[in-house]
Amino acid sequence: MVGPWLHSLWQRGRRLSDIEYMSIKEFDSKRVSNQVRLTTAGTGATLTAGAGKDLYLAGASVTLHIEGLANANDESVLELTANSVVIETITLSSEGNSSTNAATGYQVNFMAKGIKVAATQVLKIEGATIDANHAVETFIYGFEESTGASPAI
């Protein structure tokens, strides 16, 4: 079910923005997301396609928080995976930031989008290594469609 206003957009020949597209998916209860904070290596934010569903990646990001006196060589490595296959890797570094304020983090977005996994398959962010002075917020979101259905609106 989409809002009645959508028909007028199509009549004008206007293309939907990413925000409009995702708001429609959310309105239709198809949007899914997960957020996990990592302080050690391990599994971060994870999405699993439901039975009889295809899951499409809309976006993923990581936010670095410095939790102590950081050194220039402090690095955390995070991987975006689809069914245990690494799609993209991000390395976060303190870059010599000597701050002790945990709110001094910065966000980095994974570039991959539109990756599809089928029923019961998994999209996730893995913390390959998390530095002792780091905490990393992982966030992933997407939308589900019935298996074989087009994600088009």
For the stretch 28-43, pLDDT in tens is 888 899 999 999 999 9
Higher local confidence (pLDDT), 53 or 74: 53
Cα(121)–Cα(118) distance, rounded to whole angstroms? 6
Residue 90: CB atoms within 10 A of its CB come to 20
For the stretch 82-122, pLDDT in tens is 999 999 999 988 765 554 444 467 889 999 998 999 999 99
Per-residue confidence (pLDDT) for residue 60, from 0 to 100? 96
For the stretch 128-142, pLDDT in tens is 999 888 899 999 999
Set out the domains of the chain in order of their start, with CATH numbers. 32-146 (2.60.120)
Going from the C-alpha of 128 to that of each of 80, 82, 87, the distances in angstroms are 10, 15, 13
The answer to whether 98 and 69 have CB atoms below 8 angstroms apart is: yes
- E strand or H helix at 116, and its extent? strand 116-117
Cα(142)–Cα(58) distance, rounded to whole angstroms? 4
Per-residue confidence (pLDDT) for residue 30, from 0 to 100? 87
Q: What is the pTM of this model?
A: 0.80
